[in-house]
Structure 1
Amino acid sequence: MSQPTSLSRRLTARTVAVGALAATVFAVAGCAGSEPAPASTSTSSAAAAEKGGPLDLASVCPATVVMQQDWQPESEHGAMYNLVGEGYTVDTDKKTVTGPLVVDGTDTGVKIEVRSGGPAVNFQPVPALMYLDTDILIGAVNTDAAIVADADQPTVAVTSQLTYSPQILMWDPESHDGAETIEEAAADGDPIVTSGDVIPNLLLSQGIITESQIDTSYEGTPQRFVSDPKILQQGFATAEPYIYENEIAQWGKPVGYQLLSDLGYSIYPEPLAVRKADVTDQADCLKKLVPIMQQSQIDFLDAPEHGNAVILDLVEQYDTGWTYSEGVAEFSVAQQKDLGIVVNDEASGVFGQFDPDRIASIVSEFTPFLVTAGSISEDAAAAIDPESLYTNEFIDASIKMD
C-alpha cells in the first residue's frame, strides 16, 4: 500500500543517518555528537500561575500533558518545545523530554512531555499512537492523516500551528532555464521525484505534469538530485533550500522551489488534535490549553531562542543520526514568517482557527487521491464528515498575529 503524504512527511535530506551519508560522497554538515549529553536535572525557577487563572492548568489538566509529534525535533514544532521549561529531563531511550509547562515565565502547575515521532516510534502514524497510549492528550495530525484514520482512530483538530504546508518541489535553476514555478520547471517532462503519489497525482489532476513524469522512488537522500539535476524533488521550504546551499558541499548553491500550497496542497500540516472522545472528556483542560498553544506558536516565532535551544539540545542527546543545525533552525523560523506559512486564518483573522470551507475542500479534493493510493477504502471515504475532523470550540478569538 502506498503511503499517504503525511506518513512520509520527513523523507528529506535531513533524515539520512550519519553513517549512511559517510558511505557516500555526499556529506551534510552539522551532525549531532556521537555521545548523548547528560539530561538536565535542575528545577524550574518560573513563577507559579495565579490559582484559577487562565494559566493555571493544575486543576483541569493531567499532571503531565503528553504531546506526540510526528517527527524528530525541529523548528516546525517550536510551539510545543517552547513550553518546555527549565529543569527538563530527557529520556534518550524513548526520545522524550519532560519538564514544567511554562508560559512566558509562568509555571502552569503541570508538566509537559513531548514525544518524538518517526523512527522513535517505528514510524507509526500519530492517530495510532494516540489510541494505543491514552496518556497522549495532544498529537500532531496532518489533515490527510486524520482522513485516513477517521474510521478506526478518529481525531479532532483543536488548533492549527503551521497554517500552510511547507512542502515544496525543488529544482536546479540552471538545468531548467531559470524556471520560477513548478509548472515552468516541469514543462520539459523531467521526473517528479517524491516518496508518495499524493503530490504527483495532485499535479497530474491539474495538467501540470504527465503520468510518465511520476517517480515515487525518493528515499530522502541528496545523491540523485546532485548527480541528476534535471529532476524535480520533494522537500520543505523550511529546510532544503538552506541545507543544499550551505550544508551539502557537492551542491553548494541555491535551488529553485515553489510551495505546493500555491497549487492546491491545502492540508493543515500538523494541527494539534485529540481523540474524538476527549473533545468532551478533556473539555475543561482544552479550554485553557488550546489558547496557550495558539499563543505559544506566535511567541516562538517572535522569540525562538529558548525553543530552538531545547530542540538542538534534544537532537544532540537523542543521537539518532538526525542532523539539524542551528543554521537550519534559524532558517526555518525565518521561512515560516517570510513565506506566510504561519499566518492568521484567512477567513476569520484569528490565529489557529480552522476554516470550515477549507476543511470541506480538503476532504473533497484529497480523499480521491488517498483512495487511489490505497490508503483508505471508498466506503470509508464516503462516510467522512468534514465537520467531525476539527473544532473551533476552544479557540480564543482574541489571539492574532500582528
Structure 2
Amino acid sequence: MNTHRTALTRSGAAALAAAALTLSACSSSDSAAAAQDLEPAAEAQTLTGACPDEVVVQLQWQPQSDMGGMFAMLGPGYTVDTENKSVTGPLVADGKDTGVDLTLRAGGPAIGFQSVASQMYVDDDVTLGLVHGDQLIAAAASQPVVGVTPLLAYSPAIIMWDPENHPDWESVADIGGSGATVVVSKEQIFPRWLVAKGLLEQGQIDTSYDGAPSRFVADPSIAQQGFANSEPYTYESETQAWGKPVAYDLIKDSGFDIYASNVSVRADKVDALAPCLEKLVPIIQQSSAEYISAPEATNEVIVDVVSQDLSYSPYSEGQAAYSAELLREKGLVADEDGSVGTYDLERVAGTVADLAPILRESGSAIPEDITADELFTNRFTDPSIGIG
C-alpha cells in the first residue's frame, strides 16, 4: 500500500482551531501514541458506544477549506492513505478525544465522479456524506439522503467572466441578455434553474467544462462556472497564463437559495444513527463555527493532507486562507439569524418546491409528494451555536 503517515502534534490542550501545530513524519505507533495523549472529551461529547468506532465521511471533492468544519475535527496523529484517498485520525471536539476515529474520504475523481449520495448507497461503511442542497433533492428519486446539518448556509457557486471583455456585466441576468456562451459542467443543476427562471437561454449553455482554465484563458468572451472561494484567487494568483482578476456573480444572488455541503445520512439509517447524531451534530456545528473564526491551524492540516497525495490538485496556503476569508466575508457559513449548522425550514421548503418540478422536467423521478422535512432536519442541531 502506498501510504504516507503524518503526525500533527499540539501545543497544550487548546482547541485545534487555535492551536499551534507542528507537522512531522512518524510511524503508525507514534500516531497511536499521539492520539492516546489527547485529553478525553466531556461525557456529552464522548461518542464511544453512540457512534461507530470509525465515523466515515464521504467528501464531495478533494480536501479543501470549504470542508473546514470536518477537518477541524481531525485530531493529532492522523494518517494519510494515498491508495484509498482518505485521511484517518481521532475525532476531536474542542481538541479533546471523543473516543472514536474520523475518516474523511475524497470524492470527485477519487470515486469516479459518482455522486456522494450514490456512493453512500454503494459503500455501506460510509456513515455521513457531504451533499449540496440541490443534489440532495435530486437524490430523493432513488437514493434518498437526509441533511442533518449544513457546513455552508449558502453556496459559493458563481458564474465568472473577464471584466475587460465585459465591463458592463454585473449579474447573471446581464450575461443572459448578452447571448454569450456560459460554460458549465454537465452534472450541475443550477444552469437548468437559471434557464427555467428566464435568466439564461438554453442555447447559451455549454456543458463541456472540465475544471481546467484553458478554455477561459483562450476565449475570455465566455462566461464560466466556478466557486467564489476558489477560482477568483487561483486565476489571479496561481494561473500564470491569466494572472489578473476575474469578475463574478454568486448564483445565490439570483435566488438559487440552497444550503451547501450538507452533512447527510442515508434516509434508511437516520433512526439507527440517531444516538450518534444527537451528540455528533452539535460537535460538527461547533467545529464549523470555530473553524471560520480561526481557520489557520485547520488550513495547515488541509494543505498538508493534499500535499501528500500527488493525484490531488495542488492546494496552497494562500488559497486556503483566501477561501476561509471569502466564506466569512460573504456570509456563506452562518444563516441570516447568525446560527451555524441549522436549517431555516421555511427556506428549504421553498427550495424543494422550486427545484423539484425543474428536476422532474429533466427526467428525475422525484416523488410528487416529497416534502422538505423528509430531506432536511433540525432534529439533531443546536440553534444556540453561532459565530461569535
TM-score normalised by structure 2 residue count: 0.88
Structure 1 position 72, deviation (Å): 0.5
Q: How does 1:13-52 map to 2 (within 5 A)?
A: 38-40=5-7, 41=28, 42=31, 43-44=34-35, 45-50=37-42
Q: Distance in 2 between matches of 1:340 and 1:349?
A: 9
Flag the structure with higher strand content: 2
**1:148 deviation in Å?**
2.3
Which residue number corresponds to residue 374 of structure 2? 388
Paired residues for 1:2-401 under 5 Å: 38-40=5-7, 41=28, 42=31, 43-44=34-35, 45-50=37-42, 53-196=43-186, 198-343=189-334, 345-346=335-336, 349-374=338-363, 376-377=364-365, 380-401=366-387
SS where residue 306 of structure 1 aligns?
helix
User: Which secondary structure does the structure 2 equivalent of 1:54 belong to?
Assistant: helix
Q: CA deviation at 1:78?
A: 0.7
How many residue pairs were aligned?
361
Specify the code of the residue in structure 2 equivalent to 1:336: L
Q: TM-score, normalising length from structure 1?
A: 0.85
Please provide the CA RMSD for this pair: 1.9
> Alignment partner of 2:45: what SS?
coil
Offset from partner CA, 1:14-34 (integer Å, 9 cap, x none): xxxxxxxxxxxxxxxxxxxxx
Greater length-normalized contact order (CA 8 Å, ≥ 6 residues apart): 1
Using the alignment, how far apart are the partners of 1:395 and 1:149 within structure 2? 22
Using the alignment, how far apart are the partners of 1:372 and 1:263 within structure 2?
21
Q: Which residue number in structure 2 is paired with residue 12 of structure 1?
A: none
Bigger mean CA offset, 363-372 vs 115-124: 363-372
- Letter of the structure 2 residue corresponding to residue 158 of structure 1: V
What is residue 31 of structure 1 aligned with on the other side?
A: none
For residues 15-61 of structure 1, give each alpha carbon's deviation from its aligned partner in whole angstroms, at most 9, with x where no partner exists. Answer: xxxxxxxxxxxxxxxxxxxx9854444322321123xx211111311
Per-residue displacement from partner, 1:262-299 (whole Å, max 9, x unpaired)? Answer: 11211221110112233211211111100000000011
| Counterparts in 2 of 1:135 and 1:211: CA distance versus 1, 3 Å | closer
Distance in 2 (alpha carbons) for counterparts of 1:158 and 1:199 = 22
List gaps (5 residues or longer) in structure 2.
8-27
Amino acid at match of 1:262: D
Whole-angstrom distance in 1 between the partners of 2:81 and 2:189: 35
* Between 123-132 and 158-167, the greater mean CA deviation after superposition: 123-132
Question: Residue 173 of structure 1 aligns to a residue in which SS?
Answer: coil
What percent identity do the matched residue pairs reach?
45
Q: Distance in 2 between matches of 1:234 and 1:357?
A: 28
The residue identity in structure 2 corresponding to 1:76 is D
The answer to whether the 8 A contact 1:198-1:373 is kept is: no
Q: Which amino acid aligns with 1:145?
A: Q
| 1:134 to partner: Cα distance | 2.4
8 Å Cα contact 2:281/2:380 also seen in 1: yes
1:178 positional shift = 4.4
In 2, distance between residues paired with 1:178 and 1:249? 26
Question: Could you tell me which amino acid in structure 2 is paired with residue 200 of structure 1?
Answer: P
Task: Verify the 8 A CA contact 1:147 1:384 in the aligned structure 2.
Answer: no
